[in-house]
Amino acid sequence: MTQFAKTVTIAHRRDQLRAQKVLQDRAFANDKIHFAWNTVVEEIKGEQKVTSVLLKDVKTGEVREQAFGGVFIYVGLDPVSDFATELGILDENGWVITDDHMRTTVPGIFCGWRCSSKRSTSSDDSRRRRCDCWPRSL
């Protein structure tokens, strides 16, 4: 994602990652990646496009608003997508409906491969989709 955006902020609900160490090390070494630890997304704001996100600290309960030009949703292996129910972008099985470029019908909201209805078994195909979803203006 850092190839297409000036900065990437990862909101993570815990105080540490559970990914493979090599992947963690790579993320921590990248100056473009920032972590919001113990944080969940409360709300994505914007009318015609994403303008900001409300982030909640799960330990203190503090909610803060931060400006963003886009959102890339990645929730893991199962479609933990309840947050998108009100947006009307889920299929009957709880997967986020996207086009071939991982865009939802809500401008500025994209979907990670593993919670998208357009999942594929090809890692090259999914990698292409992840790259294509980022607006070139970020």
Comparing CA positions, the residue from 92, 73, 68 lying closest to residue 83 is 73
Which pLDDT belongs to residue 67? 95
For residue 40, what pLDDT is reported?
93
pLDDT, mean over the chain:
81
**Separation of alpha carbons 132 and 125, rounded Å:** 11
Share of the chain above pLDDT 70, in %: 77
pLDDT digits (tens, 9 = 90+) for 8-26: 999 999 999 877 788 889 9
Q: Is the pLDDT of residue 28 over 50?
A: yes
pLDDT, residue 76, reads 55
Q: What token pair was written down for 90? A: 């889920």
The pLDDT of residue 128 is above 80: no
pTM to 2 decimal places? 0.56
Q: What is the DSSP letter of 132?
A: H
Beta bridge partners of 66: 53
Amino acid letter, 48: Q
The pLDDT assigned to 110 comes to: 82
